[in-house]
Amino acid sequence: MLLGLALPLLGPYYLLRGRRRKKSWRSVRERFGGLPQNIHQSGPGAIWIHAVSVGEVLAVAPLLPLLRQRFPERRILISTTTDTGQELAASKLQTDGVFYNPLDFAFACRRALRAIKPSLVLIAETEFWPRFLREARLAGARVAIVNGRISDRSFGRYYFWRRTMRGVLAHVDRFLMQSEEDARRVQQIGALPERVVVAGNLKYDLAPPASSRLVAWLEGELARQPRRPVIVAGSVTAGEEALVLMAFGIIQGQWPQALLILAPRKPERFDAAASLIEESHRKFVRRSQLSLSEALDESASVLLLDSVGELAGLYQLADAVFVGGSLVPAGGHNILEPAAFGKPPVFGPSMENFREMAGAFLKAGAGIQVRTPEDLGMVWIELIQDGDRCEQLGRLARELVERNRGATARSLEHIVAMLVSPGENS
């Protein structure tokens, strides 16, 4: 009902937003179910994967080559909700098509489903759109939640509506959840216990990215210039940029030639982050204006990573790191990317969206949690000065990642069973 009331505003909203961000009419059309011809299927059999944004796109990445190997005759199509997710999926994943997920209107969902004719819909993490789930089942598709999780904030809302949610979740055949706690929560909001499986977290299976042109160039510049230590602050959210710059000021008090690589989580924060760096009276370079055929400005103390998809590889060059979304109440972000390179992740108190992962790292002594920017600066100094401790923490972090691999293979078993034996819900 609320979506219906909002319908007259949604079209103009997406159109204006697309024009402001220099996007085409395509995104608006696709959100109302009008998919391009290259997405259309002549017959059933496609696998439709929905991944909201960058984090979800990266999470499902290990599944794609295995699905391709197991079902070479099936098309694999990916939908996203955000522009950054769209860009990353199109540039980094080997798919047969990328498009924007339709809004949760019956007509939009039906148009998209008629075009794709999926045999299987895989939804990453937590996207319980009632109309879409119902229409997918009516269209004959099996539906699974992969890498499922229920955050603290989401659980409270879902639990309040648990009687309604029971009917919504009845359209899902399998819930492949990250942890026992996530499995318990999804059952509490209405999922049938026999459909819930603890498969693990797909993000542990992500391979460290291969060296990119940016990494190779910066590695050469760091060898040429006395630019140490290097601090990488990734996935920094609104309100955190100033806190990270404050912590970096503590580092600069010890090492004036230090370099901070600051990576905002969302593109809409790129300009705001640039303004904050200017206000801190530091010289900086924007990645978007960087020529990899030229030298890095030796007077610049900050590299602003205003790009998508380049952060993970840069962690390997770091002397110390910080994973954002955690010094402010944003729920945290993925700490596995630095850990895979043997860099001990440092993060703030707000890790509600990654509670199991953060807890595992803290219990293993493989990560460090801080509460204030002053704490963050001091922890960076300790890690840089005590190389043996930093190396030990990094080794524990990498070992923890290795021990928790296998979620992709477990998830694939259930996905294959759903496609090979597409009967009624078990």
Active-site residue, 127 included: no
Which of 56, 135, 241, 337 is catalytic? The answer is: 56
Q: Which residue's entry shows tokens 């900086």?
A: 284
Q: Residue 311: which of 291, 340, 274 has the closest Cα?
A: 340
Report the relative pairing of strands 320-323 and 46-50 from DSSP bridges. unpaired
Positive or negative CA dihedral for 403, 405, 410, 411? positive
Q: How many CB atoms lie within 10 A of CB 208?
A: 18
Query: Can you list the pairs that 343-347 forms with residues at least 24 positions away whose Cβ atoms lie under 8 Å?
Result: 343/315, 343/316, 343/318, 343/394, 343/397, 344/368, 344/383, 344/390, 344/393, 344/394, 344/396, 344/397, 345/321, 345/397, 346/320, 346/321, 346/322, 346/370, 346/376, 346/379, 346/380, 346/383, 347/322, 347/323
Angle at 398 (CA atoms; ends 126, 58), nearest 5 degrees: 30
Strand 284-286 to strand 259-264: parallel, antiparallel, or no bridges (unpaired)? Answer: unpaired
d(CA 334, CA 324): 9
Q: How far is CA 162 from the centre of its chain?
A: 27
Non-local CB neighbours of 259 within 8 Å, separated by 6+ positions: 222, 227, 228, 229, 230, 231, 300, 301, 302, 303
Task: Note whether 46 and 116 are within 8 A (CB).
Answer: yes
Positions marked active-site: 56
